Amino acid sequence: MQLRLVPVVELEPTDLGVQNFVELLESGEWEVFWEAHLVSFGLRPIRPGSWFVATGEFASQATFNLLARVHLEWDPQSLDLPPELDHIGPISGGYAFVLGGSVQLEPGCCCDLSDLTNGARDVKATQCQFH
């Protein structure tokens, strides 16, 4: 089976206007609700119920606008300029381990897309040690 490390963006339900996450989870309706909710934005979770969306899902102007609104609190359709660089941080998310199409692991909290570089370098360095 093929291993993939899928870059993912974290979208918190409250950022998309969902205030009753816990109720939906407890009633067993969360996965179906969330799937439909994300689809309304042109997105899909990496697995049912997940807050993570693969970066490859972001392909349209609408999805860019959504990401800008959620992460930068900036509306690209307004005349306002984006926030200043000093007020911008990496996009929350990380890398999901997907084996044969099945998600094995998702990023933890406080992680972002910038974390891959160290991982790649470290693994290669370790391999060199053993060669």
Q: How far apart are the C-alpha atoms of 41 and 39, rounded to whole Å?
A: 5
Q: How many residues of this chain bind another protein (CB under 8 A)?
A: 50
Whole-angstrom distance, CA of residue 40 vs CA of residue 109: 25
13 scored as a contact of another protein (CB under 8 A): no
Which of these ranges, 15-23, 29-37, 38-46, 94-102, lies near another protein under the rule CB under 8 A? 94-102
Retrieve residue 99's tokens. Answer: 């084996």
Q: Is 102 a residue that touches another protein (CB under 8 A)?
A: no
Cα(93)–Cα(49) distance, integer angstroms: 15
Query: Distance (Å, rounded) from C-alpha 82 to C-alpha 64?
Result: 13
- CA dist 65 and 111 (Å) reads 22
Q: Rule CB under 8 A: say whether 19 interacts with another protein.
A: no
Burial class (CB in 10 A: 0-12, 13-18, 19+), 94: buried
Piece of 11-19, 34-42, 43-51, 99-107 that binds another protein (CB under 8 A): 99-107
- Could you tell me the smallest distance in angstroms from the CB atom of residue 81 to another protein? 6
- Contact call for residue 12 and another protein (CB under 8 A): no
Q: CB of residue 32 vs another protein: minimum separation in angstroms?
A: 27
Q: Which residues bind another protein (CB under 8 A)?
A: 2-7, 55-56, 58-59, 61, 64, 67, 71, 76-77, 81-82, 85, 88-91, 93-95, 97, 99, 104-105, 107-108, 110-120, 122-127, 130
